[in-house]
Structure 1
């Protein structure tokens, strides 16, 4: 299987690179990793040539415009990457009979639910980011059949900018922090998502074809406030942190942002586990590994 990974500089793209050698050796996968410079998803002609030259069997789109607040003022840019980009990929994949695995977001929901969102739940994005990602999903569904759309949430890893790295940094800089406590979601380790995606490719190679929309996120719901406290607890236990700041629970209203965040974005993972046989993301266990890796990286 020849696999193209778009967005290789992001958290998920980096994690896929980390495990690509193992999957290549075991399953005979050949990977081509592209970033926004050498794999611009807004340039359909160049993209089509790249896919053809590599004889791609599967395309994984890990690229996205993820500056949620900034997207409110640069909607055109967000839609170019999150909607037109996936549309371009879907058209090329459809024309060339390539399987398309696309990563989307919990922001397609309004957050008014009180029960975990199922993949077929009604969407109602409240931000430009969410609306642009939903438009990308809809384009894929319109243009092709052989696709897997995976919505995820609260992604963290050793790479890039994310909540875990921010909390570790702020813990060393400040004595007191205010963390939002009235938004609920499921943290997701990008490394676990990367394994799940490549496990799906393995199943595709075997002939499985459970195309459609799926959810993949952490196995337990939490709040940003609770998540932060768990980060600090693990950091102190591992001696990655020398001190823990005082953590105050605050409301969303007390921390206004340009983009509206879903108040409740817990998603149900059962469909992807049943249909594709992937392992759940135990985010607390993965969190310990990530904090250790970040600490080692900072020390080196």
Structure 2
């Protein structure tokens, strides 16, 4: 099948470009200036020119803190642009895959969020992503929205790479221990999308295959717990690691509020598509192996 990916250099896009050809898919990944989510005519032209069987939107504005002062840009990419791309896919009768976030929830529910839980974003980033979900669903009835969280990989900027960098620079490192969720590795997200594609291409509008689904890694942890696992793996690979200090969110203020409870209930994607959350601890080991060069062996 021919797959058009919006985005080329982001974490998920990179993994999709590696993963999908293994299933025999022909992949075209575009980003500005070849695919500008602010240009409706350009989006339609790109979809027309590539003639895909399915469109995957892996492009997003993800600077959570900067979004507080860059509201227009966040909404242009995450909301308006996503809707335009979904509409261009709908015009050709194509299914559409859109990736969203746990930030559409406030994070104070006290239990894992199901897909139909009330949304209530606490910041601009979450607001823009929620508006994007609504725009996508309104524009294309053959859309699937994958809400995920804490995305990491060997590529781009993410928590794993930040921890390794800071851990090499500092004797001790303070990490928030009262925000709960589950790391999701882009490799596992790409694998899930690859498994979804054949069914989505075959499914008609109105099928249970479409709609909103949650997919993160497993098991749940905190940022501190995730950091501890990162440094444990780094130490096993000969890296110097810092002393890790648990702190509260109040001790680490940021411009944007983070969900205190970002746990997503992934039951629906298991029931409908047979896709289970991947164990992030195995994926972390794979990621660290890609990022850490083994010490030279003395001969």
Q: TM-score range by the shorter chain?
A: over 0.9
Answering whether residue 20 of structure 2 is matched by residue 44 of structure 1, we say no
Distance 1:15 1:140 in 2: 23
Answering whether residue 104 of structure 2 is matched by residue 105 of structure 1, we say no
Paired residue for 2:128? 132
Distance 2:173 2:8 in 1: 33
Tell me the C-alpha RMSD between the 2 structures. 1.5
Shift in alpha-carbon separation, 1:42–1:172, aligned structure 2, 3 A: same
Pick aligned residue for 1:80 from 76, 80, 84: 76
Q: Post-superposition shift, 1:40?
A: 1.0
Shift in alpha-carbon separation, 1:125–1:199, aligned structure 2, 3 A: same
Shift in alpha-carbon separation, 1:258–1:298, aligned structure 2, 3 A: farther
Q: Post-superposition shift, 1:90?
A: 1.7
Distance 1:74 1:187 in 2: 26
Distance 1:213 1:36 in 2: 27
Distance 1:259 1:22 in 2: 39
Secondary structure of the residue aligned to 2:35 is: coil
Paired residue for 2:236? 237
Answering whether residue 1 of structure 2 is matched by residue 4 of structure 1, we say no
User: TM (normalized to structure 2)?
Assistant: 0.95
Paired residue for 1:259? 256
Paired residue for 2:188? 192
Which structure 2 segments of 5+ residues have no match? none
Q: Deviations over 1:148-171 (max 9, x none)?
A: 000000000000010001111111
Which structure 1 segments of 5+ residues have no match? none
In the alignment of these two chains, the number of paired residues is 293
User: TM (normalized to structure 1)?
Assistant: 0.94
Q: How does 1:114-263 map to 2 (within 5 A)?
A: 114-207=110-203, 209=207, 210-239=209-238, 241=239, 243-263=240-260
Q: Post-superposition shift, 1:292?
A: 0.7
Secondary structure of the residue aligned to 1:103 is: strand
Distance 1:266 1:34 in 2: 32
Shift in alpha-carbon separation, 1:232–1:35, aligned structure 2, 3 A: same
Distance 2:269 2:196 in 1: 9
Distance 1:285 1:138 in 2: 34
Q: Deviations over 1:172-199 (max 9, x none)?
A: 1100111011100110000000010111
Question: Contact 2:233–2:285 at 8 Å: present in 1 too?
Answer: yes
The list of structure 1 runs, each at least 4 consecutive aligned residues, that deviate by more than 6 angstroms after superposition, is none
Q: Post-superposition shift, 1:279?
A: 3.9
Q: Post-superposition shift, 1:142?
A: 1.6
Paired residue for 2:275? 278
Distance 1:17 1:298 in 2: 30
Secondary structure of the residue aligned to 1:247 is: strand
Answering whether residue 40 of structure 2 is matched by residue 55 of structure 1, we say no
